[in-house]
Amino acid sequence: MDQQTLRNAILSLARRYDFEEGHSLQDERLALRLFDETARLGLHELAAPSPNPLPRCDGGEGQGVGATPRDLLRYASLLHDIGYVSGYEEHHKTAFKLILAEPIPGLSPREQALVAHVARYHRGSLPDPAKHAAFASLAAEDQRLVAQLGAILRFADGLDRSHTNAVQDVRCTLDGNRLLIALLPGHGDEAERWAGAKKARWFEAVFGVQVEPRPATSPNGRNHILTNGSLPTIL
């Protein structure tokens, strides 16, 4: 099973729970853009080949397709809100349980657990080994990965606060320890800037930066407008 086929299977799973597809696709888009931009700036090395890669499919039952951290972030973004099927309260915990409820073909048990944890921590309390037994059971390297990917997803979720795709893209610049994040197209995103700054606090702690979301502007000082009016495609 290749990654595109697995993504389609993940979407099919999410649709079983009548999830808000537009918002989840937007979170996927923004989370991957933040992942790529912060990798470009050297804030993490999750895009580099891992010395301890996740298992690749060898035809054996329960083996994964060799998902990268970026892939795991994608799947968690798509599944993070499926817990709404039982209501808003603690929907992140419900999502965690649903993701682990049955094997997901194409994901190894380790991959599936990582996706569930990243989705679980898109809101609510932060991971605490003293209080969260499932998180405590993860290897130290996997706990670190959950923190990095979970912080990115939580931040991305804030950047779609109004669930209206107000932020079509992001551009990141590093100025010392300040991460300047230009939100495109640069208008109608007040709720996203407020929620993004609030939900970026964990991201700031994990990556050691001070996040400053701001509307994107062109060189002449006017708000930047995407010429084709459509959302960029993120592969």
- The rounded distance, in Å, linking the Cα atoms of 180 and 192 is 15
Look at residue 126 and tell me if it is in a domain: yes
- Report the predicted TM-score, pTM, of the whole model to 2 decimal places: 0.87
* Dmax (CA) of the chain: 58
- 35, 70 contact by CB (below 8 A): yes
Domain that holds residue 71: 3-165
Range with the lowest mean pLDDT among 53-57, 72-76, 83-87, 97-101? 53-57
Two structure tokens written together for 15: 């649709």
- The rounded distance, in Å, linking the Cα atoms of 38 and 54 is 22
Range with the lowest mean pLDDT among 76-85, 148-157, 182-191, 205-214? 76-85
Look at residue 179 and tell me if it is in a domain: no
Q: What is the pLDDT of residue 221?
A: 45
Residues 6+ apart with CB under 8 A from 55: 63, 64, 66, 108, 110
142: domain CATH number? 1.10.3210.10
pLDDT tens per residue, range 92-142? 899 999 999 999 999 999 999 999 999 999 987 889 999 999 999 999 999
- 123, 92 contact by CB (below 8 A): yes
Look at residue 203 and tell me if it is in a domain: no
Q: What is the pLDDT of residue 145?
A: 98
Look at residue 90 and tell me if it is in a domain: yes
Look at residue 213 and tell me if it is in a domain: no
Q: What is the pLDDT of residue 68?
A: 95
Two structure tokens written together for 11: 């979407």
Q: How many CB atoms lie within 10 A of CB 48?
A: 10
pLDDT tens per residue, range 14-58? 999 988 899 999 999 999 999 999 999 999 999 887 656 655 443
The total domain count for the chain is 1
